[in-house]
Amino acid sequence: MFPSNQKLMHAPSIGDAAAGAKATPRGSGIHAAGAPPPRPAWYRNPAWVHPAAPSNVGMSAVRPLSVLILASAALLALPACAAPMLELSERETDAILAGLDAQVTAERAAALEIAKATMEAQEVAPEPEIHVPEQLTLEDALQISAAGNRGLANDREGLILSAVSLRNARRDVGLRVAGSVSYLLRGDEDAETRRDDSAALSLTDLLPTGGEFTLSGDVARNHGRGDVLTSAASGTMSARLSQPLLRNAGYESSHESLTNAERQALYDVRDFDLSRQDLALRVQSDFYGLVSQKTVIANRDASLVSFEFLKNRSEALFEVGRSSEVDMFRSRRELLSAENDLVDARQELEARLDRFKILLGLPTTQALDVVDAIPEPRELDLDLRRGIDVALANRLDLMTDRDLVEDAERRVRIAERDLLPDVTLDAVASRDDLGRRRVGDLRPDRDTYSVGVAVELPFDRVRERGALRRARIDLDRARRSLALDEDNVILQVRQSVRNLKSARNSLAIQEQIVASEEKNAKVTRLRFEQGEIGNRDLTDALNRLADARDRLVREKVNVETTRLQLLRDAGVLVIEEDGTWRE
């Protein structure tokens, strides 16, 4: 409740308050009409209403209302401030985007200059072409791909990196030599007062039992200058053995890094050999694809000659009234189709040649041609049962899977030992001599030793328990992966055996079809020349003969490719150093 002699006045406006401030002199003690009174001293107190000043309570209630009105006015003014802020944000983002656009433009201009300079350099000094035989055989292609294929080069460099990692791992667990030499001068502003020099040498080796043995020695010499400081020399030899007895004991735990590096290097060598096998299969398939396409072009050329002869004969017969206009138009259409097929076949050959050059690691501008020879199908004495047995024993990927299972089992044993407490045997023996003036006078004759056992109680083994659980899960996964890969290998061998059998049967059938189509085309041509049949029958016979010859080439290629795939699936395909294979 407010006192009776005071009334709650309405909050003055900002303009009224300013006018009152101008009209009322400072320090006069007279308040302008509608202006708030000056703040009393008690207003600085944290409590808003001071109990000792009841006469100012009414005016104090006016102040929160004034603050509320001012805050409301500020909130109402915010929409008016949003437009300038939005405009400022747009200008900032436009400036950022303009800077990035200028950067991209500069990069493109620089790239164009580099490309222009490169083209000029090539015009001045063109790169020499890689020498390849005029007629590339399959053996030549295999040798070139082994030396120039980029993917194989990456894999070969991966082998080098694996060897580097293995060398580092062997260094970490082998004999390590460390030494140091120091020379120190001491003095003041007048002269040198002391010289200190020392040397140390240590040999450290990780034992097969998991212990670490260190043999060290050091020599120090202090040269005093003047009458106050004297010279002194000291030397120490020591041997130290630190042997874990439970946790980290044994070869498996202490040499795990070396074992992992050796295993990984072995896995990389196997993967590299598999990559070489896959590359050889691709080179063989693409090479025979080129040979097949060249044979197709030759067949299309022969068909074009036949269709051109048919067109000329049909036009001549039409001129003398012995052939219909439909037959003449049909012969022209078949000739155009034959020309189009020949163009498509040549374009396909060029595209295959470019892809084959990239596979071999040659530039696409390199002139390249392959010999027109497809080997006759060869027999492969490998039945299904024997092929599966050989594959399960010889496949490199299965060997890696079995080794991965062994790795997982070893990690489980290591994780189980990590749950044991740390019990370490430490033994130190040393011999020193501290009372000589020169290093040559040192005669180490004072022996000291210490032997002790340190035990760390296994209170915190949360991470170790998790590591053991993870190791057992990895072991289960490795076993399942091995079983799955074995099933897949069996499936691959079975499928390859079936594919080879099917390819041979298809080849035998296609040879009979080609022989039949050749006879049919020969008879049809004779009957057409005698006027017994129209050119439609002859065009059909010629088309069937061309298709049969094309398919015969593809079947021969399929037999050889399938045969090589079976050798690879059985694990008996051995790639030589030059890229060729040995069965």
**pLDDT of res. 19:** 40
Q: Residue 391: CA atoms inside 13 Å, Cβ hemisphere, count?
A: 25
Write the DSSP assignment of 79-91 as a string of letters. HHHHHHHHHHHHH
Domains and CATH numbers, the chain: 1-127 (no CATH), 258-402+477-582 (1.20.1600.10)
Type of residue found at 495: Q
CA gap 532, 302 in Å, rounded: 24
Q: Which H or E run contains 530? A: none
Instruction: Name which of 337, 341, 335 is nearest 311 in CA terms.
Output: 335
Write the DSSP assignment of 470-498 as a string of letters. HHHHHHHHHHHHHHHHHHHHHHHHHHHHH
**pLDDT of res. 51:** 43
| CA triple 510-514-517, angle to 5 deg | 135
The string over 349-383, giving b where at least 16 C-beta atoms fall within 10 Å of a residue's C-beta and e elsewhere, is beebbeebbebbbbeeeeebebbeebeebeebebe
Average of pLDDT values for 128-156?
85
Tell me the average pLDDT of the chain: 80
* Token pair for 211: 């212990």
Is pLDDT at 128 greater than 60 in this prediction?
no
Please report which confidence band the pLDDT of residue 344 belongs to, taking 50, 70 and 90 as the band edges: very high
**pLDDT of res. 67:** 52
Please report which confidence band the pLDDT of residue 431 belongs to, taking 50, 70 and 90 as the band edges: confident
CA gap 75, 503 in Å, rounded: 86
Question: How does pLDDT run across 39-70, given as a tens digit for each residue?
Answer: 444 444 444 444 444 444 444 444 555 655 66
Instruction: Name which of 65, 64, 56 is nearest 3 in CA terms.
Output: 56
- Residue 485: phi, psi to the nearest 5? -65, -35
Instruction: Name which of 562, 582, 563, 578 is nearest 145 in CA terms.
Output: 578
Q: What percent of the chain has pLDDT over 70?
A: 78
* Token pair for 183: 């020379």
Q: What is the DSSP letter of 128?
A: P
Beta strand spans in 270-393 (E): none
Count of C-beta atoms within a 10 Å radius of residue 38: 10
Decide which of 93 and 27 is more confident.
93
Please report which confidence band the pLDDT of residue 229 belongs to, taking 50, 70 and 90 as the band edges: low
Type of residue found at 167: R
Spell out the residues 6+ positions from residue 110 whose beta carbon is closer than 8 angstroms to its own. none
Average of pLDDT values for 302-320?
81
CA gap 404, 260 in Å, rounded: 10
CA gap 515, 522 in Å, rounded: 11
Instruction: Name which of 347, 346, 374 is nearest 552 in CA terms.
Output: 374
**pLDDT of res. 50:** 42
Decide which of 152 and 123 is more confident.
152
DSSP reduced 3-state for 111: helix
Can you say whether residue 376 is alpha, beta or left, with left for phi > 0 and alpha for psi between -120 and 50 degrees? beta
Is pLDDT at 34 greater than 50 in this prediction?
no
CA gap 333, 535 in Å, rounded: 12
Long-range contacts: 457-461, Cβ < 8 Å, 24+?
Answer: 457/421, 458/419, 458/420, 458/421, 458/422, 461/418, 461/419
Question: How does pLDDT run across 72-116, given as a tens digit for each residue?
Answer: 655 555 555 667 777 877 777 777 777 777 877 787 778 777 766
SS (H, E, C) 204-215: EEECCCCCEEEE
CA gap 262, 269 in Å, rounded: 11
